Amino acid sequence: MVALLKSLAVLAVAVLPALAQVDTGVRCGDWDTVKIAPYTLYQNLWGKSSSTGSQCSNFISKNGNTVSWKTTWNWTRGSGGVKSYANVELTDGVGNRQLSSIKSLQSTWNWNQSGSGDVVTNIAYDLFTSTSPGGNNAVEIMIWLANYNAGPISYNWNADGTAKPIVSNLNIAGRAWNLYEGSNGANQVFSFLPTNNARVTSFSGDINLFVKYLTSNRGLPASQYLKVFQAGTEPTSGSATVTTTSYSAAIV
């Protein structure tokens, strides 16, 4: 019994420092960041000047490679543009990996959203590539898990003003997606959205499958490098809280 108690005491001492490393403080600054390896939480209120409002984000917990976090915002529509992209980025291990060398980008993401008013936002993965290690962003790849009254960047539009996909009903990672293509003014942008405006509140799959589709079918050079691998939300207006109950990502 004494030996057991000593073992439990040692275990408790070993666990407590790990728990203490989780910074759950709420951040409300435009460019605030919180590092909890292998991730970094970014506030990233890059478009707030076109509106009035506020947004705050924080980590909730970490268990192994899985984190939970949330972001809460209240934005007026203003000029109608995106106000922010609060996100968790996999910052350890990405390191400008060449696309051809990546075997998998496995990720799980479980989330929920509560909101009021004219909520316009998405829930999306966001990846950027470059043509050289450490180079400028070249191509943006987005995988939307939900679309709340927003829309992807697109070159093509339907008569009703909605974006027109370049490919429909792609089966990737066990789900059906529509693919859109456009430009954000600086980069070519590919956006995968669930068909029928579905909201994927629980995702588990290999994000690299989307990248491989683009290198095999849409001319994305496999010689480019992965610069950024993020998961977050892009609000335009309304009041809402997005809570990620569990998120993990790993690159191999």
- Known catalytic residues are 140, 234
Contact partners, residue 57, CB within 8 Å, separation at least 6: 26, 27, 32, 41, 43, 69, 70, 71, 72, 86
CA–CA separation, 89 and 108 (whole Å): 13
Taking the C-alpha atoms of residue 131 and residue 118, their distance in angstroms, rounded to an integer, is 39
DSSP-assigned letters across all residues of 101-159: G---EEEEEEEEEEEEEEEEEEEEEEEEEESSTT--EEEEEEEEEEEES-----S-B-T
**DSSP class of 37:** T
Exposure on the CB side of residue 218, measured as CA atoms within 13 A: 20
Q: Which SS3 state, helix, strand or coil, does residue 175 take? A: strand
What element of type H or E holds 92? none
Largest CA distance in the chain: 77
SS3 147: strand
Separation of alpha carbons 152 and 80, rounded Å = 14
Q: Work out whether strand 188-194 and strand 137-148 pair parallel, antiparallel, or are unpaired.
A: parallel
